Structure 1
Amino acid sequence: MSAPQPVPPSWKDIGKSSNDLLSKDFHFSGTQLEVKTATPSNVTFKVAGIRDAKSALINGDIEAKYTDKAHGLTFTQSWTTSNFLRSQVELENQIAKGLKLDLSTGLHADKGQKTALVNAIYKQPGLHTRAFLDLFKGPTFTADTVLGRDGFLLGAEASYNVTEGKVTHYAAAVGFSAPEYAVAVHGLKNLSTFAASYYHKVSPDVEAGAKAVYDTSSTHKGISLEVGTKTYLDAAAFIKAKINNHGILALGYTQALRPGVKASFGLALDTQKLNEASPSGSAHKVGASFVFEA
């Protein structure tokens, strides 16, 4: 008898290991501060702010989240400095095992813009499917499904505009995931853009990955390629590096100063303009992030 199949990742998480390696912990767009606290009554607060290095503008948000694990209920409320108010209610494993219902609403008070998204997520061994209904945009119904067996993944996504009565978007993906490596191939934007990603846990202290993207509608008709690596210096610190085929080199260093306190620093260099002291529209960037969590 074969072993029970695990629940596969969701559609958006196919290729997640490679995407996280190449996108997270590179803080070079400004200075960011994040503070997280929790209360004994299962309420968590998060305050975050970032000063953009290019515009010098400061953007921030405050978020409160209440979790009732016994009844599978989570309520989240956030408010940003751009006067955008977001509310989210989640109910999991109450109506049926593996079923999660989610209602997300947003209000941009200054512009009078409203959003409302109804989500349903169903997970079982070998199956992960989601459905979304955007009430104010279209309305538009979006569904995606991922099937998994023995590490192999097959996924698809499609959006249907109810008012226009037509499919407005579709995509597909295949992949394979193992404990030490993962590969994925996506066909996105109505199969006009193709992406291939690879992730390898070389050793307990070293990770490597790469991603290639080919856009058939692009005027350049070339492939965008990015490769990166992550190395743990010790249990409390790691460094990351990545470079793309445009010559942009990014470096990141993260250090856990003490339990609940983490500092990250980032640097991006345009290797084709290293001899220019202050190039116009320079891609040279630096930034930092500090996280305090209680």
Structure 2
Amino acid sequence: MVNGPPPFSDIGKRAKDLLTKDYNYDYKFVLSLPGSTPMGLVATGLTKGQIFLGDVSAQYKSGRTVVDVKVDTYSNVSTKVTVNEVMPSTKAVLSFDVPDHKSGKLDVQYMNPRIAIDSSIGLNPSPVLNLAAAVAHKDILLGCEVGFDTVSASFTKYTAGISFNKPDLSAALILMDKGQTLKASYVHAVDASNNTQVVAEMTHGLATLENSFTIGSAHAIDRYNRIKTRFSDNGKVAMLCQREWRPKSLITVSAEYDTKRSQVAPKWGLALALMP
């Protein structure tokens, strides 16, 4: 497909990733086996208390078609079939779960140098239609997203956003929750030499007049180690330490403490990602 602007979901994504990505409060491991053939395998495991959840994913590529299959602990099978250039500048994605016969969904994505459109519809008797569009001009990305229930003939959501992105900063403003909530975020690269970044995100309820905020940071100690921090107005403090002990193989330790509930033990988690 041709290169085009980022999708609507990328508005505010840079701040969201800094504040949430890689934070994990369970025991998790990921084993990726890309292989030299069109077939690749990924095994994922997650321990939640006394319960172990795991799944195995396989990907097969052939020409313009990519097939992803995932089998989880309960033998549920999720399948996604992607066909690139099904029409000029258009990609189609068909996804469904077995045995859930109502889980089918069709996504159609269109992209040209100025606009990105992503539409999806559920393949079931009561489908919900989602449509998102984003338009880019230089460093500005403007977009909107709507969801429509075809059975009740009502909108399930409508969201609009705008972002300004530079290599050293990113700012975004999103009107969400059917116009009831305004979210603003800002990311600034303080020092490019060690990839130090600071981030702030604030949410304002237009009807309730309630405000909430989260601030965070990311810092690369050296080429192998990095740390992230996060603090929210609800009193929760979180920290993440990550080490790349071999190319694309990571070990991550996360911890979170609720300062307003000192009697509750801190949460922590360990994640291990292996790339042979």
Q: Which residue of 150, 156, 180 corresponds with 2:168? A: 180
Q: CA deviation at 1:83?
A: 3.2
Q: CA deviation at 1:39?
A: 2.2
Say if 2:238 is the partner of 1:256.
Answer: no
Matched residues in 2 for 1:60 and 1:244: separation? 31
Say if 2:138 is the partner of 1:150.
Answer: yes
Instruction: State whether residues 243 and 249 of structure 1, in contact with CA within 8 Å, keep that contact through their aligned partners in structure 2.
Output: yes
Matched residues in 2 for 1:42 and 1:202: separation? 41
Instruction: State whether residues 18 and 218 of structure 2, in contact with CA within 8 Å, keep that contact through their aligned partners in structure 1.
Output: yes
Matched residues in 2 for 1:137 and 1:292: separation? 42
Say if 2:14 is the partner of 1:17.
Answer: yes
Matched residues in 1 for 2:191 and 2:43: separation? 35
Q: Which residue of 102, 105, 109 corresponds with 2:93? A: 102
Pick which of 127-136 and 158-167 moved more.
158-167
Q: Which residue of 258, 262, 274 corresponds with 1:270? A: 258
Tell me the percent identity: 21
Q: CA deviation at 1:58?
A: 1.4
Q: Which residue is equivalent to 1:77?
A: 69
Say if 2:31 is the partner of 1:49.
Answer: no
Matched residues in 2 for 1:226 and 1:125: separation? 34
Pick which of 227-236 and 185-194 moved more.
185-194
Matched residues in 2 for 1:203 and 1:72: separation? 41
Say if 2:33 is the partner of 1:33.
Answer: no
Alignment-mate amino acid for residue 291 of structure 1:
A
Per the alignment, do residues 283 and 8 of structure 1 end up closer, same or farther by CA in structure 2, a change over 3 Å counting? Answer: farther
Alignment-mate amino acid for residue 269 of structure 2:
G
Say if 2:212 is the partner of 1:215.
Answer: no
Q: Which residue of 93, 118, 139 corresponds with 2:85? A: 93
Matched residues in 2 for 1:217 and 1:103: separation? 38
Q: Which residue of 93, 98, 105 corresponds with 1:117? A: 105
Q: Under a length normalisation based on structure 2, what TM-score does the superposition of the two structures give? A: 0.93
CA deviations on 1:216-273 (whole Å, 9 max, x unpaired) are: 466xx42120011000011111000010001111000000112242100011112234
Matched residues in 2 for 1:172 and 1:210: separation? 20
Alignment-mate amino acid for residue 186 of structure 1:
I
After superposition, the CA RMSD in angstroms is 1.8
Say if 2:256 is the partner of 1:286.
Answer: no
Matched residues in 1 for 2:94 and 2:83: separation? 9
For 2:260, what is the secondary structure of its paired residue?
A: helix
Matched residues in 2 for 1:215 and 1:113: separation? 38
Alignment-mate amino acid for residue 165 of structure 1:
A
Q: Under a length normalisation based on structure 1, what TM-score does the superposition of the two structures give? A: 0.87
Matched residues in 2 for 1:260 and 1:145: separation? 33
Matched residues in 2 for 1:193 and 1:83: separation? 39
Instruction: State whether residues 106 and 120 of structure 2, in contact with CA within 8 Å, keep that contact through their aligned partners in structure 1.
Output: yes
Instruction: State whether residues 268 and 283 of structure 1, in contact with CA within 8 Å, keep that contact through their aligned partners in structure 2.
Output: no
Q: Which residue of 61, 64, 75 corresponds with 1:67? A: 61
After the TM superposition, list the runs of 4 or more consecutive aligned residues in structure 1 that deviate by more than 4 angstroms: none
Structure 1: gaps spanning 5 or more residues: 1-5
Per the alignment, do residues 78 and 166 of structure 1 end up closer, same or farther by CA in structure 2, a change over 3 Å counting? Answer: same
Q: Which residue is equivalent to 1:3?
A: none
Q: CA deviation at 1:169?
A: 1.8
> How many equivalent pairs are there?
272
Q: CA deviation at 1:167?
A: 2.5
Matched residues in 2 for 1:135 and 1:114: separation? 7
Q: CA deviation at 1:57?
A: 1.6
Matched residues in 2 for 1:151 and 1:253: separation? 32
Instruction: State whether residues 247 and 272 of structure 1, in contact with CA within 8 Å, keep that contact through their aligned partners in structure 2.
Output: yes
